[in-house]
Amino acid sequence: MDLIDITSPKKKNPCGKFIVQKTLSEYKNKGTVSSPNKKKVRPTIIDKVDDFDKNAIRQKIHSFWFNREVPTISKMLAAINEDETLPICVRKKCRNSVLLERDDLVVWRQKYLKKIKQYRAEDRQIYYLDETWVNAGETHSRTWVDSSVSSRRDAFKKGLTTGQKEPSGKGLIRRLYNAVIIMDNASYHSVKKDPTPVMSWKKQDIINWLESKGEVVTQPIVKVELLLRVKEIKSEHEKYVIDEYAKENGKTVLRLPPYHYELNPLELVWSSVKHYVRTHNNTYKLKDVQELLKQGVEHVTPEMWTNFVQHVVKEEDKFLRIDFITDEMLEEEPESEQHILTIGTGDTSDSDFDSDSE
């Protein structure tokens, strides 16, 4: 093997003396060598915003509709960039594009709002479920996050889970006679009773699943055709373990639409509790914060809860109106180009915004 003297000016150096020295230094210090990025990747707006930012952006869009003003991308960019709590964005697409929410989210929200109104009219007891966390370093600024916890499973193993270690639900469920239980779609709320076939399933197992749902399968047929049939009917047969258990005990589970924090009064409770903790936290010790958390919960009075629920009811009324206002405004603006606003995960259209930071 031929060796190249990188210090010799007479030899052609294909990689450069500086790069070689930097690589050797990195290996000496870290024991590994990383490949340099050939192209700097700019973070998109989706990479930069968290769930609360996404919710705030959606609220800004709704405020345009409530004012009977079409929320074009240019208008939204101006509104976002004026808000110091949101990341700066630059325009990428047509300035006349109208921002809309995904159809499935609108349908989910409308179904939820109609159901909750029905249950209130029936004078049924309504219970909200939610979870939160408080850090030892909780302050009025952004909170410190324990980077040693890598996943929900890791948190559970370390005894940091927000729920019971072995939750059965039996103690609670007996007390909720004819109640409505409102919860989100967290993974631990969404374990399916009857798993839906996927590509990894054997072909005969997919056929058996379809036939168990009353479908007639004519052979010969390829697996992708079977999975297409599954996709067409799975929404009719999806059942969750927790929903079915509640139903067996005379209870009804109603699921919140994704990223609609303002429809759960417990979010206001957590805000009050965390404000108490942040105001009184001066030791930053977990044991002391745990005691402050208990005190913060005790400071939430029945009167406060009543006010929180009344606030949520007003938010529900706003959401009921917003989708009809959107319909009316779009009929008045038939020429507008429409882009779908995707909040959270799921099928997405092309991004309407880019971040201006590198």
Percent of the chain with pLDDT over 70: 67
State the Cα angle at 262 between 177 and 176, rounded to 5°.
5
Average pLDDT over residues 69-86: 78
* Average pLDDT along the chain: 77
Q: Which tens digit of pLDDT belongs to each residue from 229-271?
A: 999 998 888 889 999 999 999 999 999 998 888 999 999 999 9
| 40 confidence band (pLDDT: 50, 70, 90) | low
Q: What is the mean pLDDT of residues 311-325?
A: 92
Specify the pTM.
0.63
CB 133 within 8 A of CB 274: no
- Mean pLDDT, residues 290-299 taken together: 94
More confident residue, 191 or 81: 191
- Closest alpha carbon to 180 in 105, 256, 106: 256
Is 174 or 264 the better-scoring residue by pLDDT? 264
Q: Mean per-residue pLDDT for 190-201?
A: 89
* Most confident range, picked from 70-84, 144-158, 175-189: 175-189
- pLDDT tens column, 88-125: 555 554 445 666 788 888 999 999 999 999 999 999 99
**What is the pLDDT averaged over residues 197-221?**
93
Dihedrals φ, ψ of 193, to 5°? -70, -35
pLDDT at 153: 47
When comparing pLDDT for 268 and 40, which is higher? Answer: 268
Q: Where are the domains of the chain?
A: 203-236
Cβ-count burial of 296 within 10 angstroms (0-12 exposed, 13-18 middle, 19+ buried)?
Answer: buried
Give the pLDDT of residue 200: 94
Per-residue pLDDT at 349: 38
Predicted confidence at residue 269, as pLDDT, reads 94
pLDDT band at 172 (very low <50, low <70, confident <90, very high): low
Bridge pairing between strands 89-91 and 353-355: antiparallel
Residue 68 DSSP one-character state: T
- For the four alpha carbons of 316, 317, 323 and 329, in that order, the dihedral sign comes to negative
pLDDT at 352: 40
- Which one has a higher pLDDT value, 81 or 278? 278
Q: What b/e sequence results for 25-39 when a residue is b if at least 16 CB atoms lie within 10 Å of its CB, and e otherwise? A: eeeeeeeeeeeeeee
Looking at residue 68, its pLDDT comes to: 82
- The pair phi, psi for residue 331, each rounded to 5°, is -70, -30
Report cis status (omega within 30 of 0) of the bond before 302.
Answer: no
More confident residue, 308 or 7: 308
pLDDT tens string 162-171: 444 444 555 5
The per-residue pLDDT for 15 is 55
Q: Are 189 and 166 in contact (CB under 8 A)?
A: no
Residue pLDDT, tens place only, 295-309: 999 999 999 999 999
Q: What per-residue string of b and e applies to 266-295 under the rule 16 or more CB within 10 Å gives b? A: bbbbbebbbebbbeebeeeeeeebeebbee
Q: Are 96 and 306 in contact (CB under 8 A)?
A: no
Query: pLDDT band for position 148 (50/70/90)?
Result: very low
